[in-house]
């Protein structure tokens, strides 16, 4: 009777032939992918550094520090999808860097840093597609998409969110019958005055909810419909919840008889309220989860993929990185023409009631306060980013009091800085007329910077400063002084600024 021997004990002449494993090409592909990522990091260092500064300094985007670890975890949980998939470089995918580079250049000319950062992140999937192939990119689509949360995006929605919150509080107070008066973002009740500041707009709740909602949708659901439903709730619910939170603070202040007592620690209470809302959303979604084991499919015969050529891998990585570098090179040459510093000059102010000219100085003295105006003229080749940076320099924080002064000649955006105690009003002018800081002004100045127009941006600021920097005091009085000056002299100031912003002879 014969017995079977283990394979490792078969005589040499009966041993089964062993097919050597084909080289996968992964070590070289990953090395070249890393080199490409390093090249992108050097090319777009400014975008990365700007994002890190925002993560560090803004509580709204502190969660961005978690995005990379979460994306890495998503990739690790999907590692089995790469089984049997060797890198398949395709230089044709590198051509996608050209339209993305044009989008980056457009954002650079418009002075929109978030747009530049979004396009840089969009280059990462292009690099993966080019070097590793579309099958690998499809397997890693979720972690690649989650990387877009690295961009501190959405600050432009803050004024809209403030308006929505103020409107919800207004409607809610009508329902509960509390008498009140609303002036833009300022709500006055018998208990005191409430301000819907930038910190109360709910942006930090909204951004965090969207990032968490995307993770929840990717982990717990598979069908596109349910994932879209989760993302829709992640947008709508935080906005509605923030309005209820603000309404609750105002109503509590009315019952306590003190706006200050109700507003104390309202940010902390807001996070607690937000955490409860998110927990309820998680619990509501659990009955519909789709994260169970997938039904086993018949195993397909393993396919023999050809090993990638080292030359093809290297050429693809170089082409992808080189095409991505085209837009920064063009921007560098354009920026050299607009590298001049803006020109600053004092604007003379006439005396108004309560304010007299300061001897030998281009300012007014209003009791202990000083009132001065300045015009900043930017080069015609500059982008709107310089204007936005100057405006940001004059801003305090997300607790500032904001209001608009509609004076003859222009509308002035004003802020009362809680940290320094200053009241600052500013207006911008372009191509001979007053303008805002929205997309239209950015497009017009982008055209000017390319030589298509001959206008230039001008910003005029009027600042009422206390004798020593400190907490904001006498805010209504400061506002009244600034409004009086602008109503009396705003038209003349706007006329001179518009002339400076007109076509350069």
Looking at 119-173, which runs of residues are DSSP E strands? none
What pTM was estimated for this model as a whole? Answer: 0.82
Predicted confidence at residue 286, as pLDDT, reads 86
DSSP 3-state helix, strand, coil percentages of the chain (rounded to 5)? 60, 15, 30
Looking at 156-305, which runs of residues are DSSP E strands? 181-183, 186-189, 192-195
Summarize pLDDT for 101-134 with one digit per residue, the tens: 999 999 999 999 999 999 999 999 999 999 999 9
Task: Tell me how far apart the alpha carbons of residues 378 and 386 are, in angstroms, rounded to a whole number.
Answer: 8
Which is higher by pLDDT, 233 or 24? 233
Predicted confidence at residue 18, as pLDDT, reads 43
| Average pLDDT score over residue span 146-165 | 92
Q: Which of 11-15, 194-198, 427-431 has the lowest mean pLDDT?
A: 11-15
Nearest to 450 by CA among 333, 355, 354, 358: 333
| Average pLDDT score over residue span 297-306 | 54
Q: What angle do CA 347, 458, 48 make, to 5 degrees?
A: 125
Predicted confidence at residue 57, as pLDDT, reads 87
Predicted confidence at residue 71, as pLDDT, reads 96
| Average pLDDT score over residue span 72-92 | 88
Partners of 413 in beta bridges: 404, 426
- Reported as a pLDDT band with limits 50, 70 and 90, residue 396 is low
Summarize pLDDT for 265-295 with one digit per residue, the tens: 566 666 787 888 888 888 888 888 887 665 5
Summarize pLDDT for 348-378 with one digit per residue, the tens: 888 888 888 888 778 888 888 889 999 999 9
To the nearest 10 degrees (0 to 180), the angle between helices 326-337 and 310-324 is 30
Dig out the tokens for 364 from the structure.
Answer: 């007014």
Percent of the chain exceeding pLDDT 70 equals: 87
DSSP string, 412-460: EEEEE-TTT--EEEEEEEETTEEE-SSHHHHHHHHHHHTTS-----EEE
Predicted confidence at residue 293, as pLDDT, reads 66
Predicted confidence at residue 24, as pLDDT, reads 62
Summarize pLDDT for 174-194 with one digit per residue, the tens: 998 888 888 888 888 888 888
- Reported as a pLDDT band with limits 50, 70 and 90, residue 38 is very high
Predicted confidence at residue 268, as pLDDT, reads 60
Q: Are 114 and 140 in contact (CB under 8 A)?
A: no
Predicted confidence at residue 150, as pLDDT, reads 96
Q: Are 457 and 321 in contact (CB under 8 A)?
A: no
Partners of 187 in beta bridges: 182, 194
- Specify the 3-state DSSP secondary structure of 178: coil
Summarize pLDDT for 307-339 with one digit per residue, the tens: 667 777 788 888 888 888 888 888 888 777 666
| Average pLDDT score over residue span 457-476 | 81
Residue 332 neighbours by CB under 8 Å, 6+ apart: none
Distances (CA, A) of 253 to 127, 168, 256: 55, 16, 5
Predicted confidence at residue 47, as pLDDT, reads 94
Q: Are 184 and 193 in contact (CB under 8 A)?
A: no
Residue 60 has pLDDT above 80, yes or no: yes
């Amino acid at each position: 009777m014969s017995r079977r021997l283990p394979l490792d004990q078969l005589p040499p002449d009966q041993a089964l032939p062993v097919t050597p494993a084909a080289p996968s090409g992964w070590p070289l592909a990953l090395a070249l992918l890393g080199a490409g990522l390093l090249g992108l990091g050097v090319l777009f260092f400014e975008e990365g550094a700007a994002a890190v500064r925002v993560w560090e300094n803004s509580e709204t985007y502190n969660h961005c520090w978690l995005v990379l670890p979460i994306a890495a975890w998503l990739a690790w949980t999907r590692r089995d999808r790469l089984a049997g998939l060797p890198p398949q470089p395709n230089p044709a995918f590198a051509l996608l860097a050209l339209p993305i580079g044009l989008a980056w250049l457009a954002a650079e000319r418009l002075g929109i840093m978030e747009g530049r950062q979004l396009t840089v992140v969009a280059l990462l999937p292009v690099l993966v597609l080019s070097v590793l192939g579309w099958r690998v990119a499809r397997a890693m689509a979720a972690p690649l998409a989650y990387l877009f949360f690295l961009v501190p995006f959405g600050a432009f929605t803050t004024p809209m969110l403030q308006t929505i919150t103020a409107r919800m509080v207004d409607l809610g107070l009508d329902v509960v019958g509390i008498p009140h008066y609303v002036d833009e973002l300022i709500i006055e009740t018998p208990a005191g005055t409430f301000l819907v500041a930038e910190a109360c707009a709910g942006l930090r709740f909204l951004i965090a909810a969207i990032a968490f909602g995307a993770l929840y949708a990717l982990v717990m659901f598979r069908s596109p419909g349910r994932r879209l439903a989760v993302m829709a709730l992640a947008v709508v619910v935080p906005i509605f919840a923030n309005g209820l939170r603000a309404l609750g603070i105002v109503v509590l202040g009315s019952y306590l008889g003190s706006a200050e007592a109700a507003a104390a620690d309202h940010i902390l209470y807001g996070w607690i309220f937000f955490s409860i809302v998110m927990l309820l959303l998680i619990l509501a979604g659990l009955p519909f989860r789709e994260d169970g084991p997938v039904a086993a499919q018949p195993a397909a015969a393993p396919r023999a993929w050809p090993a990638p050529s080292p030359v093809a891998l290297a050429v693809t990585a170089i082409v992808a990185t080189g095409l991505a570098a085209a837009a920064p090179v063009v921007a560098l040459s354009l920026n050299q023409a607009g590298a001049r510093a803006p020109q600053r000059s004092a604007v003379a102010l006439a005396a108004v009631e309560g304010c007299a000219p300061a001897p030998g100085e281009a300012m007014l003295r209003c009791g202990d306060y000083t009132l001065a105006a300045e015009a900043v003229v930017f080069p015609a080749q500059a982008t709107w980013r310089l204007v936005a940076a100057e405006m940001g320099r004059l801003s305090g924080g997300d607790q500032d009091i904001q209001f608009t002064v509609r004076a003859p000649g222009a509308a002035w955006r004003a802020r009362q800085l809680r940290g320094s105690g200053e009241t600052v009003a500013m207006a911008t002018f372009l191509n001979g007329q007053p303008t805002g800081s929205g997309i239209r002004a950015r497009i017009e100045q982008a055209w000017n910077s390319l030589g298509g127009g001959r206008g230039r941006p001008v910003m005029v600021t009027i600042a009422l400063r206390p004798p020593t920097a400190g907490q904001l005091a006498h805010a209504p009085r400061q506002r009244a002084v600034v409004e009086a000056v602008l109503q009396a002299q705003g038209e003349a100031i706007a006329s001179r600024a518009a002339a400076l912003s007109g076509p350069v002879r």
